[in-house]
């Protein structure tokens, strides 16, 4: 999402990501099957407007390459962190499969199901109703479609966006009840549903494997305590529907590095984390309401013609650009009643 680009730039990675083919993203298109979608461009903010589409595998490879060449960093790939232990002298020891590392500060960034967060006893969730994703990549011929698309169907959304090399990430997002139909036939059912809802995929080639992920909603009792900090999905995750997980993680990492220079880094990071995540979590909750209430999708679509800026403003709240007061009471009423 565009809100992650300043942090990416600051890390010196933006040019490399762009030059290796990550396509720019214009915004979101959403709608119902067999109906024309509505387009919601990303709001402009401080010169940022476009997002970037990149596979996590390529992004991680570019990040690790940069880390490995950084003179101030000793980078160890393929090393498992097995536990964290707080020591009596105020230091923390990370136990890895390649030995122990002692440090004053430890950032735990091991993802949605964070085993280390669990070992610390900080995990909250997964909170029902459980949502899942089934995701794969497709090779598409023709010009790149620069929109992230969400297509709503009965109890399921198809969520897709372009990544480098004429590939498109296509995820099916659904609640537990629809997950059952994938039992024992993940790939065939995924292919069938994705191609039925997005007929353009019938001419596309499925590449790599199909994977299932979830449930999504996890939280933490705290994101910082006595030298240990949670960053990215490990610090809590609502749902991929707002597509800002990477941007949020990058911004949290930035906030942690700032917090380390404060007299009370744990308190500073907890505060910054709240600031960075409160409104985006609320926007994600609102989007989730849409997924459960088809009538709301219809109203949002109807309202968009009369008040096209409202949904862009809502995306801006999710990106942390401004607060909920950016949307006027009249716009809220229109969005929810369609009148
Ligand atoms: C279907 C789907 C679609 C999504 N689409 C988007 C999107 O379009 N845009 C977007 O921004 N976000 C999207 N997200 C969200 C995004 O993927 C996550 O928010 C993001 O990957 C979180 O990054 P992370 O680094 O915190 O965790 P992860 O990406 O999970 O990375 C954690 C890393 O820690 C490593 N690790 C785990 N345990 C250990 C251990 N014990 N020792 C050492 N290493 C360990 C893992 O190998 C992994 O490399 C999507 C998510 C899903 C499920």
193 token code pair: 């549903």
Domain that holds residue 332: 293-339
Are 40 and 153 found together in one domain?
Answer: yes
pLDDT in tens, 286-299: 888 888 888 888 88
The two tokens of residue 310 are: 């409202």
Based on the fold, state whether residues 142 and 33 are members of the same structural domain: yes
Query: From the CA of 248, how far away is ligand 1's center (Å)?
Result: 11
Can you read off the two tokens belonging to residue 329? Answer: 């009471």
Which of 247, 314, 242 minimizes the C-alpha distance to 6? 247
Question: Is 305 inside a domain boundary?
Answer: yes
pLDDT at 93: 97
Residue 325 lies in a domain: yes
pLDDT, position 326: 94
Does residue 315 form part of some domain?
Answer: yes
Q: What is the pLDDT of residue 111?
A: 97
| Same domain? 208 vs 311 | no
In a domain, 70, yes or no: no
Q: List the helix and strand counts (H, then E) for the chain.
A: 11, 17
Q: Tell which residue, 229, 297, 234, has the closest CA to residue 257.
A: 229
Q: Do 307 and 202 reside in the same domain of the chain? A: no
Residue 222 to residues 123, 235, 265, 331: CA-CA distances in angstroms?
9, 8, 14, 35
Count the domains in the chain.
2
Look at residue 117 and tell me if it is in a domain.
no
Distance 143 CA to ligand 1 centre (A): 28
Q: Is residue 2 part of a domain?
A: no
**Could you tell me if 32 and 137 lie in one domain?**
yes
Chain segment 131-156, per-residue pLDDT in tens: 999 999 999 988 899 999 999 998 89
- Residue 283's pLDDT is 93
Residue ranges with strand state E in 70-166: 81-86, 92-96, 99-103, 106-108, 123-124, 131-139, 147-153, 156-163
For residue 209, what is the enclosing H or E element? strand 205-213
Among 8, 23, 110, 276, the mutation site with the greatest number of ligand 1 atoms within 8 A of its Cβ is: 110
Q: Mark which of 198, 213, 228 sits at the end of a domain.
A: 213
Ranges under pLDDT 70 in the chain: none
State the distance from the centre of ligand 1 to the C-alpha of 232, rounded, in angstroms.
Answer: 8
């Amino acid at each position: 999402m565009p809100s992650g680009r300043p942090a990416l730039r600051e890390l010196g990675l933006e040019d490399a990501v762009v030059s290796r083919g990550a396509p720019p993203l214009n915004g979101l298109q959403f709608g119902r099957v067999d109906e024309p979608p509505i387009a919601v461009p990303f709001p402009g903010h401080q010169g940022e407007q476009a997002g970037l589409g990149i596979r996590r595998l390529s992004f991680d490879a570019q990040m690790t390459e940069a880390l490995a060449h950084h003179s101030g960093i000793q980078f160890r790939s393929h090393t498992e962190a097995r536990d964290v232990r707080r020591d009596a002298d105020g230091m923390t020891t990370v136990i890895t499969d390649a030995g122990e590392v002692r440090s004053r500060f430890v950032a735990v960034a091991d993802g949605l199901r964070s085993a280390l967060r669990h070992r610390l006893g900080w995990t909250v969730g997964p909170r029902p109703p459980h949502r899942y994703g089934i995701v794969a990549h497709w090779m598409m011929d023709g010009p790149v479609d620069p929109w992230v698309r969400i297509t709503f169907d009965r109890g399921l959304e198809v969520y897709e966006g372009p990544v480098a090399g004429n590939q498109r990430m296509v995820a099916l997002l659904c609640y537990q009840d629809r997950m059952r139909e994938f039992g024992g036939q993940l790939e065939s059912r995924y292919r069938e549903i994705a191609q039925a809802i997005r007929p353009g995929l019938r001419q596309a080639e499925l590449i790599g494997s199909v994977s299932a992920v979830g449930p999504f909603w996890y939280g933490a009792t705290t994101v910082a305590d006595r030298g240990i900090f949670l960053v990215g999905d490990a610090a809590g995750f609502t749902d991929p529907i707002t597509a800002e997980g990477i941007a949020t993680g990058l911004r949290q990492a930035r906030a942690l590095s700032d917090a380390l220079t404060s007299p009370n880094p744990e308190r500073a990071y907890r505060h910054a984390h709240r600031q960075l995540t409160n409104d985006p979590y609320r926007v994600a909750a609102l989007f989730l309401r849409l997924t459960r209430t088809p009538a709301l999708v219809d109203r949002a679509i109807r309202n968009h013609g009369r008040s096209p800026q409202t949904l862009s403003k809502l995306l801006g709240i999710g990106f942390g650009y401004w607060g909920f007061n950016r949307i006027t009471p009249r716009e809220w009423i229109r969005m929810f009643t369609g009148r």
